[in-house]
Structure 1
Amino acid sequence: MALVGDTAAALEALAAPMRRRLAGAGWSRRVSHPFVEVYAPSDRLAVTAGLDGHGVLIGEMYDNTGRTVSASERGTLACRPMDAASARRLVAEHWGRYVIVRRTGGDAAILRDPSGAIEAVCWRRSGVTLVASSAPPVLDPLLPDDMALNWEAVARLIGRGGEYRHDLALDGLTPIAAGELRTLGAGGSHGVQVWRPADVYRRGRGRPPELRSAVQTAVRSLAGDRTWVAEVSGGLDSAIVAASLEMSQRDRVAAWVNHYVEQPEGDERAYARAVVARQGDVLTEVRREGLTLSAERLARTADAFRPATNDIDTDYNDDIAARIREGGAWGSLTGQGGDAVFFQMPSPLIAFDELQERGVRARPAAVHRIARWTRRSLWPSAWIRALQEHRRSRADWDHPWLDDLRGVPPAKALQISILAFCQTFQGQAARSLHGVCVNPLLSQPVMEAGLSWSTVDLTWGGRDRAAARNAFRDVLPPSIYARRSKGELGAFYGEAVASHLPFLRDYLLGGALAQAGLLNDLEADLSREALLWRGGFSRLLTLALTEAWVRRWTARLEARSR
Structure 2
Amino acid sequence: MAGLDSQYNEDGFFVATDQDCDLHMLGEGAGCVIGTLFHRFGAPTRVERLEASESALIATTNAKHLIERFWGRYIAILRLDHGKMALRDPSGMLSCVYVIREGLLALASEPSLLVDAGLLEPIIDNCGLARGLLLAGFPDEQTSLQGLKYLRPGTAILQSEYDTITQVEWNPSSYIVSQFPDDPDREAELLQRATQQSISAWSGRYKRGLACVSGGLDSSAVASGLARAGNELSCLTLATDDPIGDEREYSRILARHLGVHLVEAHYDLRDVNLDVSSVKNQARPFGRLDSLSYDAALVRAARSVGATAAFSGLGGDNVFFMSHSARPLVDRYLAQGISLGLWETATDLCRLTGESIFKVTREAVRNWNARRRGYNWRLTASHLSVDAIQSQLERPVDHPWLPAEGTHVPPGKAAQIAMLLRLHHSLDAYSERGGVPVIHPLASQPVLESCLRIPSWHQCRGGVDRAIARLAFQSHLPAEIVNRRLKGSPQGFVHTIYRQLSGEIKERLLDGYLVSSGIVDASSLEKAMAMGPNLRGVDILRLLLFVDTEAWITHWRTMRASLTN
TM bin (shorter chain): 0.7 to 0.9
Distance change (3 Å), C-alpha of 1:165 and 1:293? farther
Aligned-partner Cα distance in 2 for 1:381–1:429: 39
Residue 76 of structure 2 aligns to which amino acid in structure 1?
I
Matched residue, 1:105: 81
Asked if 2 retains the 8 angstrom alpha-carbon contact of 1:494 and 1:535, the reply is: no
Matched residue, 1:242: 223
Aligned-partner Cα distance in 2 for 1:79–1:39: 23
Matched residue, 1:35: 12
Distance change (3 Å), C-alpha of 1:138 and 1:166? closer
Asked if 2 retains the 8 angstrom alpha-carbon contact of 1:524 and 1:530, the reply is: no
Aligned-partner Cα distance in 1 for 2:435–2:179: 38
Asked if 1 retains the 8 angstrom alpha-carbon contact of 2:203 and 2:229, the reply is: no
Structure 1 position 92, deviation (Å): 1.6
Matched residue, 2:419: 418
Deviations 1:500-525 (A, max 9, x none): 11222222221211110112122223
Matched residue, 1:477: 478
Aligned-partner Cα distance in 2 for 1:544–1:186: 44
Distance change (3 Å), C-alpha of 1:82 and 1:352? same
Structure 1 position 529, deviation (Å): 2.7
Q: Mean Cα displacement is larger for which, 445-454 or 532-541?
A: 532-541
Aligned-partner Cα distance in 2 for 1:45–1:75: 21
Asked if 1 retains the 8 angstrom alpha-carbon contact of 2:36 and 2:74, the reply is: yes
Aligned-partner Cα distance in 1 for 2:88–2:431: 23
Whether 1:328 and 2:303 are equivalent positions in the alignment is no
SS in 2 for 1:519: coil
Q: Mean Cα displacement is larger for which, 406-415 or 378-387?
A: 378-387
Matched residue, 1:394: 376
User: Structure 2 length as normaliser, TM-score?
Assistant: 0.86
Distance change (3 Å), C-alpha of 1:185 and 1:132? farther
Structure 1 position 177, deviation (Å): 0.9
Structure 1 position 367, deviation (Å): 1.2
Residue 494 of structure 1 aligns to which amino acid in structure 2?
H
Structure 1 position 458, deviation (Å): 1.8
Aligned-partner Cα distance in 2 for 1:75–1:330: 31
Whether 1:171 and 2:146 are equivalent positions in the alignment is yes
Residues 356-371 of structure 1: pairs in structure 2 closer than 5 A: 356-361=334-339, 362-371=341-350
Distance change (3 Å), C-alpha of 1:295 and 1:453? same
Asked if 1 retains the 8 angstrom alpha-carbon contact of 2:239 and 2:246, the reply is: yes
Residue 287 of structure 2 aligns to which amino acid in structure 1?
T
Percent identity of the aligned residues? 26
Residue 448 of structure 1 aligns to which amino acid in structure 2?
E
In structure 2, which of residues 292, 300, 311 is the aligned counterpart of residue 314 of structure 1? 292
Structure 1 position 403, deviation (Å): 4.7
Aligned-partner Cα distance in 2 for 1:135–1:382: 43
Structure 1 position 272, deviation (Å): 0.8
Q: Report the count of equivalent residues.
A: 533
Deviations 1:482-512 (A, max 9, x none): 2111113323312222211122222222121
Distance change (3 Å), C-alpha of 1:511 and 1:258? same
Residue 360 of structure 1 aligns to which amino acid in structure 2?
I
Aligned-partner Cα distance in 2 for 1:49–1:340: 34
Structure 1 position 301, deviation (Å): 4.2
Residues 274-289 of structure 1: pairs in structure 2 closer than 5 A: 274-289=253-268
Matched residue, 1:407: 408
Aligned-partner Cα distance in 1 for 2:545–2:472: 36
**Structure 2: runs of 5 or more not aligned:** 379-396
Whether 1:374 and 2:353 are equivalent positions in the alignment is yes
Whether 1:190 and 2:178 are equivalent positions in the alignment is no
Structure 1 position 284, deviation (Å): 0.9
In structure 1, which of residues 57, 62, 65 is the aligned counterpart of residue 38 of structure 2? 62
Aligned-partner Cα distance in 1 for 2:329–2:466: 16
Asked if 1 retains the 8 angstrom alpha-carbon contact of 2:241 and 2:492, the reply is: no
Whether 1:216 and 2:219 are equivalent positions in the alignment is no
Q: Mean Cα displacement is larger for which, 289-298 or 314-323?
A: 289-298
Whether 1:524 and 2:527 are equivalent positions in the alignment is yes
Matched residue, 2:547: 544
Distance change (3 Å), C-alpha of 1:217 and 1:53? same
In structure 1, which of residues 222, 242, 261 is the aligned counterpart of residue 240 of structure 2? 261
Structure 1 position 460, deviation (Å): 0.8
Residue 44 of structure 1 aligns to which amino acid in structure 2?
D
SS in 2 for 1:183: strand
In structure 2, which of residues 118, 126, 129 is the aligned counterpart of residue 142 of structure 1? 118
Structure 1 position 307, deviation (Å): 2.0
Structure 1 position 394, deviation (Å): 0.6
SS in 2 for 1:458: helix
Matched residue, 2:20: 44
Aligned-partner Cα distance in 2 for 1:435–1:88: 32
Distance change (3 Å), C-alpha of 1:202 and 1:88? farther
Matched residue, 2:129: 154
Aligned-partner Cα distance in 2 for 1:231–1:270: 15
SS in 2 for 1:72: coil
Whether 1:346 and 2:324 are equivalent positions in the alignment is yes
**Structure 1: runs of 5 or more not aligned:** 1-21
Residue 234 of structure 1 aligns to which amino acid in structure 2?
G
Matched residue, 1:462: 463
Residue 260 of structure 1 aligns to which amino acid in structure 2?
A
Aligned-partner Cα distance in 2 for 1:502–1:465: 42
Distance change (3 Å), C-alpha of 1:139 and 1:119? same
Structure 1 position 538, deviation (Å): 2.0
Asked if 1 retains the 8 angstrom alpha-carbon contact of 2:10 and 2:29, the reply is: yes
